[in-house]
Structure 1
Amino acid sequence: MHIPPYHKKVTWQRFFVGMLFGGVIAYCTLIYMYGEMYEQLLKENREYRTELTELRDLNEALLQDKKDLNEKSKEPLTVETLEINIANKNEYRLDRLIVHDLEEMVKKEIKHIIGRDISIIDKSDDLLISSIENKNFTVDEFTYSFKVEKLAIISQTVKLTLHAELAD
């Protein structure tokens, strides 16, 4: 029995090289698709965890506020939600996950204002701004600091627009 020497023919050589390149391209495509899928799942997981912690903190703050309101005759408006926006995230080409982590760190820094009276927050807005601006936040070996561009207290929502900078 004799195996024909296909490796010497040019047409078969092209066929085998084509199979090799096709396999490499298919492998690269598979790795890319897997990476995109994994990144999406990781992002969803972090968002759900964040939402869960926010709802727990909100629940605790509102339960405490309810106890306090039973003692008071007047019902003052309280802060219920925080909205953080990083204005220059495209300037530093920040990844969605990094932006999410930075927003979470800022929310953890100022979460004590949830359930507080809006008039108290309005009076101490300088303290709130300085507590954000004087703190550095580290994500993925980079340290960021923020400048508060806009602080808006709209009914029961506090909206912050921040300008990110790389810290020294």
Structure 2
Amino acid sequence: MHIPPYHKKRSWQLVMFGAVIGAIIAYFIIIYMYGAMYEKLLAENIELEAQVAKLQNHNDALLKDNKDLDEKSQEPLTVNAIELNIDGDELRLDRLIKRQLEELIKEEINHVIGQEISVVGKSDQLLIATIENKAFTIDDFTYYFTINRLIIDETIHITLEAKLSN
């Protein structure tokens, strides 16, 4: 029995070539689809792991906070932050200069953070004198401040009025 030589006929060569090209194209399509699906699942997995880690950290923080709450309820309250508000409308201070002045003032009175509120309340005149008697210089201009309002709590709120030196 003799097998006919189909590999020599042009039509069979085109069919075989088309099958090989089709198989290669199908392979690349399947690889692309698999890669896209895997990428989507990997991104979703990373997002879910991040959420789980965030929730675990949140849960640990809440448990620690609950544990420390009993300890802190017996400790005196302390100053946690300083908030400044500078009124310099007649000087027309821009935000950058206001921000620099706030930072200079916070550096000057930063020592009160962490102290008990009762201690800071007793020495409020010292805090006022520290700010009012200090000259703050920015860009060859010297600024003096007058305290309009001082609220001492866990966050110290200070409202200041800026004055430019002569």
Report the TM range for the smaller structure's normalisation: 0.5 to 0.7
Report the secondary structure of 2:84's partner residue.
Answer: strand
Ranges of 4+ aligned residues in structure 1 off by more than 3 Å: none
Q: What is the distance in 1 between the residues matched to 2:151 and 2:79? A: 12
Greater C-alpha radius of gyration: 2
Query: Deviation at 1:97?
Result: 0.4
- TM-score, normalization: structure 2? 0.55
The size of the alignment, in residue pairs, is: 97
2-side partners of 1:81 and 1:73: how far apart? 19
- Spell out the pairing of 1:16-55 with structure 2 (5 A cutoff): none
What's 2:58 paired with? none
What is the Cα-based RMSD across aligned positions, in Å?
2.0
Matched, 1:147 2:142: no
- Measure, in 2, the Cα distance between the counterparts of 1:94 and 1:121: 30
Provide the residue aligned with 2:122 in structure 1.
123
Aligned mates of 1:153, 1:73 — CA distance in 2: 19
SS in 1 for 2:78: coil
Partner of 1:15: none
Where do 5+ consecutive residues of structure 2 fail to align?
Answer: 1-67
How many percent identity over aligned positions?
54
* Aligned-partner Cα distance in 2 for 1:127–1:118: 14
- Counterparts of 1:1-168 in structure 2, within 5 Å, are 74-87=74-87, 89-154=88-153, 156-168=154-166
Supply the distance in 1 between the matched residues of 2:76 and 2:98 (Cα, whole angstroms): 33
Distance 1:157 1:97 in 2: 23
Q: Which runs of 5+ in 1 are unaligned?
A: 1-65
Question: SS of the counterpart of 2:137?
Answer: strand
Report the alpha carbon displacement of residue 73 of structure 1 after superposing the two structures with TM: 9.8
Give me the TM-score of the superposition, normalised by structure 1: 0.54
The residue type paired with residue 86 of structure 1 is I
SS in 2 for 1:82: strand
Q: 1:121 to 1:97 in 2, by over 3 A?
A: same
The AA in structure 1 aligned to 2:137 is T
| Aligned-partner Cα distance in 1 for 2:113–2:165 | 28
